[in-house]
């Protein structure tokens, strides 16, 4: 398989589908093992917009406890992609971006000039997908680069 992708974005959220997508993205990047076509893998977490009020904002918490909790969550979410990228000797950049998931991923991919977006399929049923829409479908329909949906 000839694969010349140099910049690969993988959307992760800690779910089993995103873990599969992370492993597949590392495999894609590893296929470019020659120095000439070395890939960069962007592992991206998308959070709701910063300015959106959250229910947790109503309860006072220690800033240090909140920061430690967030760092622990990030460690768990990035665990699979960190491990797989380290084993395959792939250059990994971890990013946290804000906004609507599909729009934020597409914007990031365009800004970084990514060649491929790898995203997991949630496996939700037809009814739920019809009501809320599928993130992976929205990304696939609107991306200017290749999109690899992992099941």
Residues 7/113, Cβ–Cβ less than 8 Å:
yes
∠ Cα 55 56 62 (to 5°): 165
Q: Does 95 map to a domain? A: yes
Question: pLDDT tens for residues 33-83?
Answer: 666 668 899 999 999 886 454 555 555 556 667 777 888 999 999 999 999
Q: Is residue 66 domain-resident?
A: yes
In this structure, what CATH number is given to the domain that contains residue 44?
3.40.50.620
Q: What is the largest CA-CA distance in the chain?
A: 54
Query: Looking at the domain assignment, is residue 39 inside a domain?
Result: yes
14: left (phi over 0), alpha (psi -120 to 50) or beta: left
How many domains does the chain fold into? 1
For residues 117 and 20, is the Cβ–Cβ distance under 8 A? no
Question: How many Cβ atoms from other residues are within 10 Å of residue 20's Cβ?
Answer: 16
59 inside domain: yes
Domain with 122 in it: 7-150
In a domain, 76, yes or no: yes
Q: 24-47: string of b/e by CB count within 10 Å (b at 16+)?
A: bbbebbbbbeeeeeebbbbbbbbe
Summarised one tens digit per residue, pLDDT across range 80-125 is 999 999 999 999 999 999 999 999 999 999 999 999 999 998 755 5
The model's pTM:
0.82
Q: Report yes or no on 1 lying in a domain.
A: no
């Amino acid at each position: 398989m000839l694969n010349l992708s140099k910049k690969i974005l993988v959307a992760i959220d800690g779910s089993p589908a995103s873990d599969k997508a992370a492993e597949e993205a590392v495999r894609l990047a590893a296929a470019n093992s020659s120095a000439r076509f070395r890939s960069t893998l962007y592992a991206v977490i998308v959070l709701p917009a910063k300015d959106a009020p959250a229910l947790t904002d109503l309860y006072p918490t220690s800033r240090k406890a909140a920061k430690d909790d967030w760092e622990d969550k990030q460690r768990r979410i990035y665990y699979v992609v960190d491990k797989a990228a380290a084993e395959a000797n792939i250059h990994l950049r971890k990013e946290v971006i804000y906004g609507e998931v599909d729009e934020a991923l597409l914007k990031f991919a365009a800004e970084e000039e990514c060649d491929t977006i790898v995203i997991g399929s949630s496996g939700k049923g037809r009814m739920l997908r019809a009501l809320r829409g599928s993130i992976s479908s929205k990304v696939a329909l609107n991306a200017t680069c290749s999109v690899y949906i992992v099941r």
